[in-house]
Amino acid sequence: MLNRFIGLSTTIVGRSSRSGFLSSSSLLKAGGSRNQKQNRTMSSGKAFKVLVTHPEVPQEGIDILKQNCEVIQVQSVPVDRAELLRKISGVDGVLWGGHQPLNAEALDAAGPQLKSISTMSAGIDYVDVPELKKRKIPLGHTPTVLNTAVADLAVGLLIAAGRRFHEGRKKIDNDQWENYHLNWLLGQDIRDSTVGFYGFGGIGQAIAKRLSGFDIDRVLYTTRRRVHKEIEEEFNAKKVDFDTLLAESDFIVIASPLTKDTQGVFNATAFNKMKETAVLVNIGRGKIVNQDDLYEALKSNRIFSAGLDVVDPEPLSPKDKLLTLDNVVVLPHIGSATKRTRAEMATIAAHNVLRGLVGEPMLSPAY
């Protein structure tokens, strides 16, 4: 039955092969020749048991699993750790649907028969990857399918922060509609601007593609490796060091994963190297930014504004000092929060789990 459902995700948006990532169609074709073997394996003998760790995982993914497996689901919201650890015992696979720590505690509770895990996320900073590798458990994730939704939101944050949306709304709320001033609530132009990317993978490139319609001047990017020449030509992009990115960018978009090298790299030193008119957008991870230093940079107008979909910690306290500022737009980590995107994430995660169960390469492996 598995081959019948592989086609459900043919519309999933993937990154081009020239950027170093397989497209969705390539991902799906990669497993097509193995479907008969998977069907034989799954149809013979006892059905695999799979845990879905969140009750709100889209039905599209659960339906795929149910065709071949016995599915158990955590029912608590927020997820109760005790329920998760109880229900994970004895399962063969896990669709990890939230951001609960995936660590030795969970793996020990599952038992040695555990064969396959996939998250329903791009980032896996909540996963103890070395522990999974030590136990030789394959791990899948869902990075490419959320590029479109996250890129759309990033552009929205860039505009909202650059054009002072939050401050304008507060003016209305406080009966301070002062448009008799000619220079009231003036913001930053995207047109002819330099947009810098800290991280320029699939999501960064999707953002750059959208911003090209705003007639930006050029793209700068800081990454470990240079992207393909064709991509640089398409986006008028140039790889630069971090200091150059900070000094020359009118807008800076953080689109990097959280690692030991990226944690806290946007700190007071970095903010002091940015233009006073610069706008910072973070759709990567909250811990990449030193939030106390960002607060001071915004409060003192050392930089113009910020738009954040990720913060540290999450959830952010409603009394956090960052929320007292006029020149920051904060969203509750909703970059991939569209119905279509979440359904596609669940679909890919389900396929990852099924492939791992029968010893086949996952559609989207994390390592």
List residues with catalytic annotation: 333
User: Residue 320: CB partners within 8 Å, gap ≥ 6?
Assistant: 311
Q: Are 111 and 135 in contact (CB under 8 A)?
A: no
**Tokens at 318, concatenated:** 């409603």
Q: How far apart are CA 250 and CA 192, in angstroms?
A: 10
Rounded CA gap, 95 and 120, in Å?
7
Shortest CA distance to 353 belongs to which of 84, 67, 101, 112?
67
Q: What is the dihedral of CA 189, 300, 266, 20, to 10 degrees?
A: -10
The Cα 193–Cα 32 span in angstroms is 45
Name the nearest CA neighbour of 93 among 367, 366, 358: 358
Please tell me the distance from the alpha carbon of residue 300 to that of residue 325, in angstroms, as a whole number.
10
Terminal Cα distance for the chain, rounded: 27
In the numeric block, the tokens 């696979």 are attached to 93
The DSSP H or E segment spanning 324 is none
Quote the longest CA-to-CA distance of the chain: 77
Cβ proximity of 257 and 150 under 8 Å: no
DSSP alpha helices (H): ranges in the chain? Answer: 2-6, 24-32, 35-43, 59-66, 81-87, 104-110, 129-134, 147-162, 165-173, 202-211, 229-235, 242-248, 268-271, 291-299, 339-357
Q: Considering only CA atoms, which of 145, 73, 75, 49 is closest in space to residue 347?
A: 145
| Secondary structure of residue 241 in the 3-state scheme | coil
Instruction: Return d(Cα 139, Cα 153) in angstroms, integer.
Output: 27
Strand partners, 194: 218
